[in-house]
């Protein structure tokens, strides 16, 4: 099993929710009600796209960064008080 980092852009939609896209992985589009849900959906879409590249013997986009060590990353935390 391999793991990869990709960059995604998340924008707030006018009609509620969030939209994620990626310049690293063309075709990645994910929409969710929260940032966390949008990231989760984007991860699933990215996994399926990468698996498709591999299964068809296509080279992976050069922008994909294979994880070789742990990096500091920011994650969203939803708090309801």
What average pLDDT score do residues 58-68 get? 79
CATH (one of 3.30.300.30, 3.30.160.250, 3.40.630.10, 3.40.47.10) for 4-62: 3.30.160.250
What average pLDDT does the structure give for the chain? Answer: 88
What average pLDDT score do residues 47-53 get? 93
Q: 16, 32 in Cβ contact below 8 A?
A: no
> How does residue 68 score in pLDDT terms, banded at 50, 70 and 90?
low
What is the rounded CA–CA span in Å between residue 41 and residue 18?
Answer: 11
Q: pLDDT value at position 73?
A: 72
Pairing of strands 18-21, 9-12: antiparallel
Q: 47, 59 in Cβ contact below 8 A?
A: no
Residue closest to 38 by CA, chosen among 26, 46, 28, 30: 30
> How does residue 71 score in pLDDT terms, banded at 50, 70 and 90?
low
């Amino acid at each position: 099993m391999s793991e990869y980092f990709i960059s995604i852009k998340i924008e707030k939609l006018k009609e509620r929710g969030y939209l994620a896209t990626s310049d690293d992985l063309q075709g990645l589009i994910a929409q969710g009600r929260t940032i966390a849900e949008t990231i989760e959906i984007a991860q699933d879409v990215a996994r399926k796209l990468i698996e498709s590249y591999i299964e068809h013997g296509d080279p992976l986009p050069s922008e994909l960064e294979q994880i070789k060590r742990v990096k500091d990353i920011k994650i969203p935390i939803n708090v309801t008080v």
